[in-house]
Amino acid sequence: MVKTWRRLLQARPRWIATLLLIPLLYGLGWLLAQPLAQVLPETSAARLSLIGTIESLLLFILLLPSWVRQRWNSRHPWLTLGLRSRRGEPSGAVCLAYGLLRSVGLLVLISVPLIFGSWGRWLGELTSGDVLNALLLCFGVGLAEELLFRGWLWGELNEIAGSRIAVIGQAVIFSLVHTRFDQGVLPMIGLLTGLMLLGLVLAVQRRLDGGSLWGCVGLHGGLVGGWFALRAGLLQISPSAPEWLIGPGGLHANPLGGVVGITALSLLLVGQLTALAKAARP
């Protein structure tokens, strides 16, 4: 196992290792989960798949420091990945808080038209299970996906192709991975556009936060967990709610693919780029 890991790290050309890492870890996580089917035969295929995914994620986190040290020549992998703050930069807690506030602002832009347009009614009801799921989505999915896309993937693309291609590349891959391609051409284009904008917004946010990943975790996780909480009981959304507002997907609509979501992310990105340009001036 150790020899296989060393060979992967030293593979040439270097993009081969980048391409193979996630599929190999996913496959290994799936294999490790299979004995549970024998021990607990009542375990559903969906739950078994979830367990395998969690095991893959844990393997990824365990192996990531070694990867960053050897592939990126970094002595401080968690600092390089953005999970630790640099001296003189905002703390991770501050970045996380601001990221969460930005996600709330974006969700408000979706919710207010729903309520005042008679397509939604505020309920404000959440069970303890809903709250737990929302928190797990916020901090679990937010941290895992940001570590993967704005941490590892961005760093790998930067080493292979340079900073400009890396920023665009991670956003393109992020959008392709999250887009459903069974909803027609226009909904697909909407989702691809909204998700790519989110990928760019998150990348620029990390630059604005001095390399910290926590602002991205707050924004990304807040959107995922917050939208779940809204749909779970905070807000009753009418089936007649327009797709341009709540996005494509029907019962599993993604508001980032709607006109409001795309417009809000575009304006946020312009504001971020303006702030980044001002910060770069001497």
Q: Consecutive 10-residue runs of the chain (282 residues): their mean pLDDT?
A: 73 84 90 75 74 90 93 92 85 94 95 89 91 95 96 94 93 92 86 96 95 96 96 90 88 90 95 89 71
pLDDT at 35: 79
Q: Where are the alpha helices (DSSP H) in the chain?
A: 2-9, 15-33, 35-39, 45-71, 77-81, 92-116, 128-135, 142-146, 154-161, 163-178, 185-208, 214-229, 243-246, 259-280
Q: How far apart are CA 18 and CA 38, in angstroms?
A: 33
pLDDT at 183: 80
For residues 82 and 215, the answer to whether their CB atoms sit within 8 Å is no
pLDDT at 40: 67
pLDDT at 282: 67
How would you label 169-192 residue by residue, b for 16+ Cβ within 10 Å and e otherwise? bbbbbbbeebbeeebeeebbebbb
pLDDT at 122: 92
Which residues, including other chains, have CB under 8 Å from residue 7's CB and lie 6 or more apart?
none
How would you label 234-273 residue by residue, b for 16+ Cβ within 10 Å and e otherwise? bbebeeebebebbbbbeeebbbbbbebbbebbeebbeebe
Coil, helix or strand at residue 138: helix
- The pTM is what? 0.92
pLDDT at 230: 94
If you ran DSSP here, which 8-state letter would residue 242 be given?
Answer: -
